[in-house]
A and B are shown apart, each in its own frame.
Chain A
Amino acid sequence: MAILEVRDLSAGYGPIRALDGVSIDVGEGETVAIIGANGAGKTTLLMAIVGVVPARSGSVAFQGRPITGLPTHVVSRMGIGHAPEGRRIFPRLSVRENLELGGFTQTDRQALKRDIDEACGMFPVLGERMAQMGGTLSGGEQQMLALARALVGRPKLLLLDEPSLGLAPLIVERIFDVIGSLAKRGISVVLVEQNARAALRLADRGYVLETGRVTLTGPGAELAHDRRVREAYLGEG
């Protein structure tokens, strides 16, 4: 059964129609890549799923329950984590406080501590910087913090928006390693990326988004070999 079903979703800003009838599915434990150029609507899609950008039409269902129109914090509490575009960590809170906020709904202090320790196990550099303000971290560390913050909330579905943007190759590799390990932990992933090659290698399936519409879909490996994808997004051809 699909954990996330998006049907004919349209959304936008003022006169701009950023999403135009998008439908995607994400299965339990599946990693799905959304690739596309700048402005194709990838970020809007994620923001519309969690209700930050209101849907104009269409529907979103999570674990079979409709979540269209629900407030963002309610969607988040149902089990959808989001590491948003631009990371959006809290710059004037310590790394520890950032992580604690990731587990905002966890009222069991012991469990929260375990979840934070576990997240720091994946990114040991965060454990060394617990008392530092989030805004003083390097770009790569901030991305790790954004990912760790989302994981502390024990999401069933994790939405990742350009986790590799602007980062050094070694750090990208580390972050993609962690993303690749999420499926084993039973976390479904929607991965939005401009780094199409890395994303498709990791993903079970992929969708290509162009000017707010899905133009192509299929298994990750198949998309990576598609002529159109190679020409447009993999810099070949």
Chain B
Amino acid sequence: MFFLQQCLIGLTNGALVALVALGYTMVYGIIGLINFAHGDLIMLGACLALTLVGALGIAAGGGAATWAGVAALVLLCGLFCGGLNVAVDRIVYKPLRNAPKLAPLVSAIGVSFIFMNAGLFWLGPADRSFPDLVPSTNLLAHDGLQFTLKDLLVVLVVVPLMVGLSLLVRTTRLGKAMRAVSQDPVAAALVGVDVDRVIAATFFIGGFLGGAASVIYGLYINTIGFQMGFQNGLYAFTAAVLGGIGSIPGAVLGGLVIGLVRALSSAYVGERWTGAIVFAILIVILVFRPEGLLGRRTREKV
């Protein structure tokens, strides 16, 4: 029962990691950039969420008003992070599109610092507690096993977003254009795809998912701080690499695996070893499968 409980915790946390990992993998898939600022973008989303809770007067209570408030937070923070991501691409990455790969990468690290300082201004140097809008009521009629309202919230936000993303990428015109641009941007332009717009849309979607994740993070973990972006970004980036960077199902799988490993190692080995174990597993997997769990082997006919 204890093991099952840890798995549940791990999967819920992993779903959150996966949502962030999608932002890394999508941007990498479309322009080959590891967007180091993504974690800090989510931190800014959490700042906005905290501000909005006060400004909109969203109160705990579990009623319809609370849920409507949470939905509004997810939407507004999603739009904010999506828009901010697009703006950063326009201003910082787009002028460097044809520059050596190192240039946008270093710029992304710069953007990460700028975001972190903005967060420092916004939140102050100390960690802030995030209002506990959704209570930890156990939904299972069982004493040994807990699946709380909070866990349900994570599932309710993450699963529809992932299903929606997968449908968008697989079936829509934009999705087809995104896949085409990720494979050959010149060929995509030659058939009439506006490559810059598709890249902007990708940044928006990745940012939107991150914004949603930031709200869930605040409600689930209940503590936010201006440095939260670094560690969370690192785990999510690891998840994206583990699953195969550039692969959308890979990011989801990688997130769930990381969540499980973190939960199990915290429970059975000790919290302080968790980071070491996660990255040791990453290294082992990459030694045997450099392309990640679901990444594609680069073997194409020329």
Given contacts A84-B187, A104-B173, contact A91 B192 (CB under 8 A): no
Contacts A104-B173, A136-B301, A153-B192 given; indicate if A92 touches B186 (C-beta within 8 A): no
Cα of A150 to Cα of B190 in the assembled complex, Å: 9
A residues near B188, Cβ cutoff 8 Å: 90, 101
Interface residues as binary, A64-79 with B (CB distance below 8 Å gives 1, 0 otherwise): 0000000111001100
Least Cβ–Cβ distance between A96 and chain B, in angstroms: 10
- Chain A residues within 8 Å of B289, by CB: none
Contacts of B191 in A (CB 8 A): 76, 101-102, 104, 149-150, 153
Judge if A172 is at the interface, Cβ distance under 8 Å: no
Within 8 A of B (CB), among A145-179: 149-150, 153
| A100 CB-CB contact with B under 8 Å | yes
B143 at the interface (CB under 8 A from A): no
Interface size class of A (residues with CB under 8 A): 20 to 34
The answer to whether A181 has its CB under 8 Å from any CB of chain B is no
Max chain A Cβ within 10 angstroms of own Cβ: one of B173, B188, B191, B300: B191
A100 touching B189, Cβ below 8 Å: no
Q: Is B176 an interface residue (CB 8 A)?
A: yes
Which residues of chain B come closer than 8 Å to A111, judged between CB atoms?
Answer: none
- Cβ contacts A99-119/B at 8 Å (1 or 0 each): 011101100000000000000
Q: Which B residues lie within 8 Å of A142 (CB)?
A: 301
Minimum CB–CB distance for B168 against chain A, Å:
15
Does B179 lie within 8 Å of A93, measured CB to CB?
yes
User: CA of A9 to CA of B188 in the docked complex: distance in angstroms?
Assistant: 24
* A97/B189 in contact, CB under 8 A: no
Contact check, B189 vs A104: say whether CB atoms are below 8 A apart.
no
Is B195 in contact with A89, judged by CB distance below 8 angstroms?
A: no
* Residues from chain B with Cβ under 8 Å of A126 in the complex: none
Residue B194 interfacial (CB < 8 Å) = yes
Residue of B nearest to A139 (CB): B301
A216 interface residue per 8 A CB criterion: no
Interface size for B (C-beta < 8 A) is: 21
Decide if A135 touches B301 in the complex (CB within 8 Å): yes
Q: Which of B188, B190, B193, B296 has most A Cβ within 10 Å?
A: B190
What residues on A are CB-neighbors of B302 within 8 Å?
Answer: 86
Tell me, in angstroms, the Cα distance from A135 to B300 when the chains sit together. Answer: 6
- B187's nearest neighbour on chain A, judged by CB, is A88
Q: Is the CB of B189 within 8 A of A92?
A: no
Contact at B186–A52, with CB atoms within 8 Å? Answer: yes
Selected from A71, A91, A101, the residue in CB contact (under 8 A) with B300 is: A91
Nearest A residue (CB) for B177 = A104
Q: Kindly state the separation between the CA atoms of A149 and B187 in the bound complex, as whole angstroms.
A: 11
With A73-B195, A100-B176, A135-B301: A93-B183 Cβ-Cβ less than 8 Å: yes
Given the complex of chains A and B, what is the CA–CA distance between A105 and B189 in angstroms?
11
* Mask of B162-187 contacts with A, CB within 8 angstroms, 1/0: 00000000000100110110011011
| A95–B239 alpha-carbon span in the complex (Å) | 31
- Is the pair B179, A90 in contact by a Cβ cutoff of 8 Å? yes
Are A84 and B186 in contact, CB atoms less than 8 angstroms apart? yes
Binary CB contact string for chain A from 124 to 146 against chain B (1 if under 8 A, 0 otherwise):
00000000000111110010000
Chain B contact residues, CB within 8 Å of chain A: 173, 176-177, 179-180, 183-184, 186-195, 296, 300-302
Query: Could you list 23 A-B pairs, sorted by A, with CB under 8 Å?
Result: A52-B189, A71-B189, A71-B194, A72-B190, A76-B190, A76-B192, A77-B192, A84-B190, A86-B302, A88-B190, A90-B183, A91-B300, A92-B179, A92-B183, A93-B179, A97-B179, A101-B191, A105-B192, A137-B301, A138-B301, A139-B301, A150-B191, A153-B192
